[in-house]
């Protein structure tokens, strides 16, 4: 006679197991066949049936694989070890979630700071107070991250100044003042941030006929703070000059800004000459408000088109990773010049 009651053994069909564990029937069968994660019994009709213990083990195995482990890495672990892995994964996920929420709050707070600087900059521009405007922008460049300064302050300042000029609430003199001051701040950023010893080198310009250069200035400043050695050439530059600059600086890429005019009949041929004269491995990255009007030729020459600075930063990271993958370290004791 038993001194205490023993729990009754419950048996469950496949559909119950898949619902309780999250595993599909096909994946469960594959795990059983390849790794013998559980050994189900058979019903009178010959169908697989699983115990409560089977379900618990399958649930632990499935949750352990959700963190990125292969089933082969955990299939032989006892339940206690699996439960500890699952507990650690849950704790890590919780920490990551809290960190993500904190980063989001920080980004929102930084955006509010950028909005404050933007409002102050517009007020100073209205008063034509160049000294105070430059001081405000330089202070913002220190307080804000580089990405926030460019995306949430510099770009909107130019856009809003242009919009108000078209609406008649600002005069051309206000736009000129903003341009002059912002140019000084961005050029200072390029000089101070561009890493002269960096192996990733970038040439930035606007092609011949393109005289609006602020897109190129922002691109150059963005690349500089991302750790690139930037050679900024300015606006309206013939293809031959861009090619020569790329060769002399050993550039990894050329970045072009195309803003105005939107339908320059000479620009497609200019871009084709540029691509023909540049080495095949050198990437051309193109952005700007008018770049979409030249999408056909940009596609023909294999240029990378970006819509904004966010996409440009992502492209810089891709170019940097590609360069590291293809960089060969010289063997010890051999001079690269003698190979």
pLDDT at 95 over 70: yes
Whether the Cβ atoms of residue 67 and residue 89 lie closer than 8 Å to each other: yes
Query: What pLDDT, in 10s, does the model give residues 142-155?
Result: 999 999 999 999 99
* Residue of 339 and 48 predicted with greater confidence: 48
Mean pLDDT across 229-233: 94
Mean pLDDT across 175-197: 87
Structural tokens at position 115? 């909005």
What pTM, to 2 d.p., does this model score? 0.64
Return d(Cα 295, Cα 263) in angstroms, integer.
12
pLDDT at 230 over 90: yes
The whole-number pLDDT of residue 321 equals 78
pLDDT at 327 over 50: no
Which DSSP letter does residue 32 get? Answer: H
pLDDT at 199 over 90: no
The least confident of 99-113, 178-192, 271-285 is 99-113
Q: Which of 234, 236, 239 is nearest to 217 (CA)?
A: 234
Return d(Cα 194, Cα 72) in angstroms, integer.
47
Mean pLDDT across 179-196: 86
Which of the four pLDDT bands, split at 50, 70 and 90, describes residue 91? confident
> Same topology for domains 11-89 and 107-192, yes or no?
no
Query: What pLDDT, in 10s, does the model give residues 261-304?
Result: 888 999 999 999 999 999 999 999 999 999 999 999 999 999 99
Which of the four pLDDT bands, split at 50, 70 and 90, describes residue 5? very low
Residues in the chain: 339
pLDDT cut 90: percent of the chain above it: 72
Name residues whose C-beta falls within 8 Å of residue 114's C-beta, 6 or more positions apart in sequence.
140, 144, 148, 149, 152, 153
The whole-number pLDDT of residue 329 equals 40
Q: Which CATH class is domain 194-326?
A: alpha beta
pLDDT at 241 over 60: yes
CATH T-level assignment (fold) for domain 11-89: Multidrug-efflux Transporter Regulator; Chain: A; Domain 2 (1.10.1660)
In the chain, where the domains are located: 11-89, 107-192, 194-326
Return d(Cα 175, Cα 188) in angstroms, integer.
20
pLDDT cut 70: percent of the chain above it: 90
Return d(Cα 193, Cα 91) in angstroms, integer.
39
Return d(Cα 30, Cα 329) in angstroms, integer.
44
The whole-number pLDDT of residue 4 equals 44
The whole-number pLDDT of residue 325 equals 54
Mean pLDDT across 314-319: 92
Mean pLDDT across 125-149: 94
pLDDT at 2 over 80: no
Place of tokens 């890493």: 195
The whole-number pLDDT of residue 109 equals 86
Q: Which CATH class is domain 107-192?
A: mainly alpha
Place of tokens 């929420």: 101
Query: What pLDDT, in 10s, does the model give residues 34-48?
Result: 999 999 999 888 899
Whether the Cβ atoms of residue 247 and residue 215 lie closer than 8 Å to each other: no
The whole-number pLDDT of residue 197 equals 63
């Amino acid at each position: 006679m038993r001194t205490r009651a023993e729990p009754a053994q419950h048996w469950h069909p496949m559909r119950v197991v898949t619902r309780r564990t999250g595993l599909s029937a096909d994946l469960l069968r594959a795990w059983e066949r390849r790794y013998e994660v559980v050994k189900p019994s058979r019903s009178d009709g010959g169908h697989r049936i699983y115990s409560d213990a089977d379900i618990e083990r399958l649930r632990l195995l499935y949750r352990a694989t959700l963190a990125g482990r292969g089933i082969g890495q955990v299939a032989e672990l006892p339940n206690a070890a699996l439960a500890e892995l699952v507990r650690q994964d849950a704790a890590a996920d919780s920490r990551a979630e809290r960190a993500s929420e904190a980063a989001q709050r920080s980004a929102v707070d930084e955006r509010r700071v950028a909005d404050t600087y933007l409002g102050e900059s517009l007020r100073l521009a209205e008063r034509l107070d160049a000294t105070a405007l430059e001081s405000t922008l330089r202070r913002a460049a220190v307080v804000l991250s580089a990405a926030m300064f460019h995306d949430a302050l510099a770009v909107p300042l130019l856009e809003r100044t242009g919009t108000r000029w078209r609406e008649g609430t600002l005069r051309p003199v206000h736009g000129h003042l903003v341009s002059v001051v912002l140019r000084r701040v961005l050029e200072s950023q390029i000089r101070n941030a561009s890493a002269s010893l960096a192996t990733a080198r970038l040439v930035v310009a606007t092609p011949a006929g393109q005289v609006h250069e602020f897109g190129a200035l922002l691109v150059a400043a963005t690349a500089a703070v991302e750790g690139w050695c930037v050679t900024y050439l300015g606006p309206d530059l013939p293809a031959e000059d861009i090619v020569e600059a790329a060769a002399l600086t050993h550039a990894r890429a050329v970045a072009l800004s195309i803003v105005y005019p939107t339908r320059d009949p000479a620009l497609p041929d200019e871009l084709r000459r540029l691509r023909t004269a540049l080495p095949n491995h050198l990437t051309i990255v193109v952005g700007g408000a008018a770049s979409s009007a030249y999408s056909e030729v940009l596609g023909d020459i294999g240029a990378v088109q970006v819509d904004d600075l966010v996409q440009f930063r992502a492209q810089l990271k891709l170019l940097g990773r590609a360069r590291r993958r293809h960089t060969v370290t010289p063997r010890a004791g051999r001079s690269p010049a003698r190979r």
